[in-house]
Chain A
């Protein structure tokens, strides 16, 4: 079973003092190496800060773009991990080790693997 872990925090790397960011990157390097080793790792990426975001909508065939993320909150989406875990308890254990969880929070969501989804994504079982 795959879970998406969305990392949210009030401060992202770019907004931290340089030493703190360096330390945080090192924490991430260690954590990511550890879950590659344990087989939980599926994928991950860090995102550039929300001011770099553009939100796109299409209405009546017209594309409209707006500046910024689709929802403004104090906590910003900073990156994500996709992990493999046998159930929610195991996913929570992995999520609790993500360095971002110590300063912000991590939303853990199961990834849909039902037939219509897999067919739509072109990756049938």
Chain B
């Protein structure tokens, strides 16, 4: 083979690795029955590809070649270790690996990715572990990258992942897509993980910067994967919600990194492609008539996205959607958001009455946005003293720098 062809084969191997490694990995877990064995086999297979493809040419179906190579490497490994264990055990292990269905049908490979997602998000794992494992095993992020995203240390993250994998093995968490009867609860758990990853990227809960782009794009990629493989209305709703929120990213912060509220955002900065895609997905989810909280939140985001300005927004429609959302998923945070929409529709006094009632009930006392919303409505009604007290409560509760600066600016702007 010429030098050119060798270089091309190497490039192909590397491109295949970037595009296919997670798919191949998901299938190897099914064939080998173990995350660590699969990881090892995956690396062995790619090492073999880098050696052989430049010499023998790129195989017709690189993905099938890799799965097959990974499987043989794993069998080799088991046989090599066999010198130390009883011969029946080896026979059993090798048989388990060899006996399985042929790995090279593409449909099966897609099922394997779903198996991997559902296993990583199994509710028997702690929520933290679900997030870490999904980012590591499904998205292929390194532990260093995950640690950085969650302001943690790599050893802590690595430990969490090791423990989660041990639980999968020891508690016999199966590598399968749940049955239709289990699906609603299990899908909830997957969607929650994806949305958590998105939110950590979109509105970092602490730290210097307001957003972390990488996590949001990973979450959107995961959302697309889910919709592609399991087009349930709530999966579609979640993807729509993420796209519609993401569409405002450029407008959410000023060039100096300051927070810009929805009403004050330069709407020409909103990403029209994401809005178009998100809105179409909302229609698809709502059309199914089996929609839930994600599709409803996406529908609310779509109403905002379609308005030319805050004043031109159909606030009546938004209040109506919040009413439906409250019935689907009663929560004080949803009530708070509804109250803000009522303030936009009927004036600040109407909204403030609702917020005062929520806080008087003792709900959301520790929720910074409840106090910030109360402060804003008091300010607009000219109740300066009350506004000041509420802004101060909000400042005391926020852990995020740009948000703190925003609230302190508002506080400073209040008349004496």
Contacts from A to B (Cβ < 8 Å): 1, 86-89, 91-93, 108-110
Query: 1/0 per residue B95-130: CB within 8 Å of A?
Result: 000000000000000000000000000101000000
**Residue contact A89 to B170, C-beta cutoff 8 Å:** no
Which residues of chain B have a CB within 8 Å of any CB of chain A? 122, 124, 170-174, 176, 178, 182
Extra contacts, 6 of them, besides A88-B124, A110-B172 (Cβ < 8 A), are: A86-B174, A88-B122, A88-B173, A88-B174, A89-B173, A108-B171
B122, B171, B176, B178: which has the most chain A beta carbons within 10 Å? Answer: B171
A33 to B171, CA, bound (A): 26
Q: Given the complex, which residues of B lie within 8 Å of A92, measured CB to CB?
A: 124
Complex interface: chain B residues within 8 A of A86 (CB): 172, 174
**What residue of chain A has the Cβ atom nearest to residue B122's Cβ?**
A88
A1 to B182 Cα, complex, angstroms: 21
User: Smallest distance from the beta carbon of A116 to chain B beta carbons, Å?
Assistant: 14
Contact A88 B171 (CB under 8 A): yes
Are the CB atoms of A87 and B173 closer together than 8 Å? yes
Residue of B nearest to A90 (CB): B174
Nearest Cβ on chain A to B89's Cβ, whole angstroms: 10
Give min CB distance, A30 to chain B, whole Å. 20
Closest B residue to A112 using CB positions: B170
Whole-angstrom CA separation of A82 from B27 in the bound complex: 33
The 3 tightest CB contacts between A and B, nearest first, are: A87-B174, A87-B172, A88-B173
Give, as a whole number of angstroms, the nearest-CB distance from B125 to chain A: 11
Given A88-B124, A89-B176, A110-B182 contact (CB < 8 Å): no
- Cross-chain pairs A/B with CB under 8 angstroms, 7 sampled: A86-B174, A87-B174, A88-B171, A89-B173, A89-B182, A91-B172, A108-B171
Least CB distance from B72 to A in Å reads 27
B378 CB to closest chain A CB (Å) equals: 43
Q: Within the complex, which residue of A89, A108, A109, A110 is in contact with B174, where a contact is CB–CB below 8 Å?
A: A89
B183–chain A nearest beta-carbon distance, Å: 12
| CA gap between A91 and B171 in the complex, in Å | 10
Q: How far is the CA of A1 from the CA of B170 in the complex (A)?
A: 11
A64 to B182, CA, bound (A): 48
Minimum distance in angstroms from A95 CB to a CB of chain B = 11
Q: How far is the CB of A94 from chain B (nearest CB, A)?
A: 13
The complex places the Cα of A91 from the Cα of B122 at a distance, in Å, of 14
* Complex Cα spacing A108 to B173, Å: 12
Residue among B122, B170, B172 with the highest chain A CB neighbour number at 10 A: B172
The interface residues of chain A lying within 8 Å CB-to-CB of B174 are 86-89
CA distance A88 to B173 in the complex (A): 5
Instruction: Report the minimum CB–CB distance from B146 to chain A (whole Å).
Output: 25
A93 to B179, CA, bound (A): 11
Nearest CB of chain B from residue A32's CB, rounded to whole Å: 22
Report how far A40 CA is from B178 CA in the complex, Å.
20
User: Closest CB-CB distance, A5 to chain B, in whole Å?
Assistant: 13
Contacts of B173 in A (CB 8 A): 87-89
Interchain nearest-CB distance for B175 vs A (Å): 9
> Which residues from A are CB-within-8-Å of B122?
88
* B residues in contact with A91, CB < 8 Å: 172
CA–CA, A84 to B319, complex, Å? 51
Q: State how many angstroms separate the Cβ of A45 from the closest Cβ of chain B.
A: 23
* Chain A nearest CB, measured from B373 CB (Å): 37
* Contact between chains at A110 and B170 (CB < 8 Å): yes
Closest CB in chain B relative to A92 CB, distance in Å: 8
Q: Closest CB of chain A to B174's CB: distance in Å?
A: 4
Residues of B contacting A1 in the complex (Cβ-Cβ under 8 angstroms):
172
Which residues of chain B have C-beta atoms less than 8 A from A88's C-beta?
122, 124, 171-174
Q: How far is the CA of A86 from the CA of B171 in the complex (A)?
A: 11
A109: which B residues are within 8 A, CB to CB? 171
| Cβ–Cβ < 8 Å partners of A87 in chain B | 172-174
| Docked complex Cα distance between A93 and B174 (Å) | 13
How far is it, in angstroms, between the C-alpha of A79 and the C-alpha of B173 when the chains are bound?
A: 24
A109 to B170, CA, bound (A): 9
Question: Which A residue sits closest to B173, measured CB to CB?
Answer: A88
Complexed CA–CA distance, A92 and B173 (Å)? 10
Partner pick for A110 among B171, B176, B178, CB 8 A cutoff: B171
Complex-state Cα separation, A92 to B182, whole angstroms: 11
In the bound complex, residues from chain A placing their C-beta under 8 Å from that of B170 are 110
Q: What is the minimal beta-carbon distance from A18 to any residue of chain B, in angstroms?
A: 35
Complex CA distance for A91 and B176, rounded to whole angstroms: 15
Q: Given the complex of chains A and B, what is the CA–CA distance between A92 and B176 in angstroms?
A: 15
Bound Cα distance from A61 to B176, whole angstroms: 50
Q: How far apart are the CA atoms of A89 and B170 in the complex, in Å?
A: 13
CB distance from B370 to the nearest CB of A (A): 31
Chain A: which residue is nearest B167 at the CB level?
A: A88
Give the distance in Å from the alpha carbon of A89 to the alpha carbon of B182 in the complex: 9
